[in-house]
Amino acid sequence: MEPTDDGLAETGEYFLFAPDLETNRPFRGAVFDNVQALLTPPRLILRPEDGGFPELRETPRIIFDASLGPMPRDLEGGFDGYWLVSERLRNAMCAVDPEAFAFVECEIRMPNGARGPRYFLCDVVRELDALDEDRSRLDIEVDDDFVNGKFYSITGGASLAFNRSALSGAHVFLTPFSTFVIADRCFVDAMRAAGIPKATRLSGISFIDAARI
């Protein structure tokens, strides 16, 4: 690990963990077929405001259709507030930090009605107030209109540092003041060891060094 040029956060320690932010791969060929039947009015998306999963009246059904675009990778975002993750990624996540995530298995169908590979909707459900504001460089917006009174903005670049003592062994987490997910080096290394491709274009995963956003 190396300090950044400004002497604040160390590189190679924590990472933004997100669906593909780096490539221009065509939009996936997958359709959330029964999402309207799963919604809980008045919510307009499936994911509740506080995260996790609502009580589902039926199994989420995703149609994989190559005529609409490439098949989903290990991780794809944009499924009504959730990620869609492959079985091997889900297994790797659970092996390293099971309490960080909630999953619901989907019914995957091909256009001809045949069953497809196992995939899961995924939500990051652990929230920790672990950002070291003094050692970080980012915009901190304070306003009573924000849910928790302030918001961490990394638009335009940032360097994030975290308090190890606040993590208590956690490898993946959200903060109360942002929407980005953080993963540590241990988690990233475990994904590689599990066979998840390093190339974002292949895996669908962006791991961006939080010290050099």
Which amino acid belongs to residue 56? Answer: L
pLDDT tens profile 180-191: 999 999 999 999
- The answer, yes or no, to whether residue 2 has pLDDT greater than 70, is no
How many Å apart are CA 207 and CA 189, to the nearest integer? 11
Average pLDDT over every residue of 26-30: 94
- Is it the case that residue 5 has pLDDT exceeding 70? no
C-alpha distances in angstroms, 37 versus 30, 45, 111?
Answer: 17, 11, 20
Query: Binning pLDDT at 50, 70 and 90, where does residue 149 land?
Result: confident
Q: Is 27 helix (H, G, I), strand (E, B) or coil?
A: coil
Give the CA radius of gyration of the chain: 18
Strand, helix or coil at 152? strand
- Tell me the pLDDT tens digit for each residue of 98-147: 999 999 999 999 999 999 999 999 999 999 999 999 999 999 999 877 77
Exposure string over 25-50, b if 16+ CB within 10 A, otherwise e: eeebbbbbebeeebeeeeeeebbeee
26-49: average pLDDT: 94
Greatest Cα pair distance in the chain: 57
CA angle at 204 for the pair 104 and 83, rounded to the nearest 5° = 25
What is d(CA 170, CA 194) in angstroms, rounded to the nearest whole number?
A: 19
- Predicted confidence band of residue 7 (pLDDT cuts 50, 70, 90): low
Chain segment 133-144, per-residue pLDDT in tens: 999 999 999 987
User: How far, in Å, CA of 203 to CA of 182, rounded?
Assistant: 18
To the nearest whole number, what is the mean pLDDT of the chain?
A: 93
Structure tokens at 98: 């099971």
The predicted pLDDT at position 147 comes to 76
Helix axis angle for 87-96 and 185-193, nearest 10°, is 140
- Could you give the CA distance from residue 201 to residue 179 in angstroms, rounded to a whole number? 23
The conformation of residue 21, written as its DSSP 8-state character, comes to: -
Task: Locate 80 and state its tokens.
Answer: 């009504």
Q: Tell me: the pLDDT tens digits for 192-209?
A: 999 999 999 999 999 999
pLDDT number for residue 76: 98
CA distances from 144 to 48, 157, 187 (A): 22, 24, 34
The pLDDT of residue 24 is above 70:
yes
pLDDT given at position 144 = 77
- Coil, helix or strand for 43? coil
